[in-house]
Amino acid sequence: MLPYVLSRLVRGALTIFGVMIVIFLLTRASGDPAATLQGDSNDPARYEQIRRDLGLDEPLIKQFSTYMGDILQGDFGESWNYRRPTVDVVKERLPESAQLAGAGLLVSIGLGVPLGVIAAARRGGFMDKLSRAFGLLGQSIPTFWVGIMLVLIFSVQLGMLPSSGTGGIKHLILPAIAVGWFSTASVLRLTRSAMLDVLDSEYIKMARIKGLSEGRVIWRHALKNASIPIVTIAGIQLAALLTGAVVTESIFAWPGVGSLVVTAANGRDFPLVQTVALLAAVTFVLVNLSVDILYGYLDPRIWAK
């Protein structure tokens, strides 16, 4: 098992390095921060001064090696906008994002898995049709529209729930539904197809011959064997939610990482964008690593290979 984890760790490190290069280049291709920071003043000397202060006058390769060197020493740079270490800025936002991501994941797993299982078990039946329609809607209706509709109905019309900001469970409900909407649909569809695959197999036939109740056949034998793709998609969704439910956070003015990165990108705040992107990459790698390790528990065949 150890070699398995190690090989995945090495791959993860390579992935993160690759992401860092791409983000570094992309941010620098996106515009000139010195011009933004300079504001309305048109003084060339001041412009040069800003460039020198930020190190933008150096060749790209030099900039990148400085950046990498700093990171290896634990220095993630200072936000040009906030004038504080980027790590501190991100740290403040992270709990909010984690809360939203957790709630969103709860919605998508709590709804998606049972609906997918029932749809597969009653293939072609009413629940199946309903679930499939819901899956299609979930994946084809954009998140921003869902968010706006939720606000319109539950906040504006009914006045039941707050439309923005944080503070308590009530504030969490609408953003959680909006953010979980899309992933509920993907979890549902994936659960359904994984279950259909498994339900077709010989050992399910065998489980019925054994005399197991239908509930036990479906929830114990079949769902356990269908769990690998479900865990995979849940992991990807979690990572995506954690590092930027950008649209949802903007709609509900949720002070998470997603809205932070939007502001940072608009303000050409390269160090902050880079730190958030790095955080995203690390999160993805870690979530995938945990999912990979989880596979081994879900399926004893995997570690044997």
Catalog residues that contact other proteins under the rule CB under 8 A: 201-203, 205-213, 216, 221, 224-225, 298-301, 304
How much is the CA Rg of the chain, to the nearest whole Å? Answer: 24
Q: Concatenate the DSSP letters of all residues of 178-246 into one string.
A: HHHHHHHHHHHHHHHHHHHHHHTSHHHHHHHHHT--HHHIIIIIIHHHTHHHHHHHHHHHHHHHHT--H
CA–CA dist 153, 149 (Å, integer): 6
- Find the shortest distance in angstroms from Cβ 231 to other proteins: 13
CA–CA dist 63, 291 (Å, integer): 35
Question: In Å, how far from its chain's centre is CA 225?
Answer: 25
Considering the complex, state which of residue 59 and residue 124 has its C-beta at the smaller distance from other proteins: 124
- Find the shortest distance in angstroms from Cβ 135 to other proteins: 19
* Residue 99 CA: distances (Å) to CA of 179, 235, 251: 12, 16, 16
Considering the complex, state which of residue 91 and residue 205 has its C-beta at the smaller distance from other proteins: 205
Helices 86-121/126-140 angle, 10° precision = 150
Considering the complex, state which of residue 32 and residue 299 has its C-beta at the smaller distance from other proteins: 299
- Find the shortest distance in angstroms from Cβ 202 to other proteins: 4
Considering the complex, state which of residue 72 and residue 304 has its C-beta at the smaller distance from other proteins: 304
- Find the shortest distance in angstroms from Cβ 198 to other proteins: 10
Residue 287 contacts residue 239 (beta carbons within 8 Å)? yes
Q: What is the Cβ-side half-sphere exposure of residue 226, based on CA atoms within 13 angstroms?
A: 29
Residue type, 64: F
Count, residues in the chain: 305
Considering the complex, state which of residue 102 and residue 229 has its C-beta at the smaller distance from other proteins: 229
Q: Hey, what are 259's tokens?
A: 């809205």
- Find the shortest distance in angstroms from Cβ 145 to other proteins: 30
Considering the complex, state which of residue 225 and residue 237 has its C-beta at the smaller distance from other proteins: 225
- Find the shortest distance in angstroms from Cβ 290 to other proteins: 19
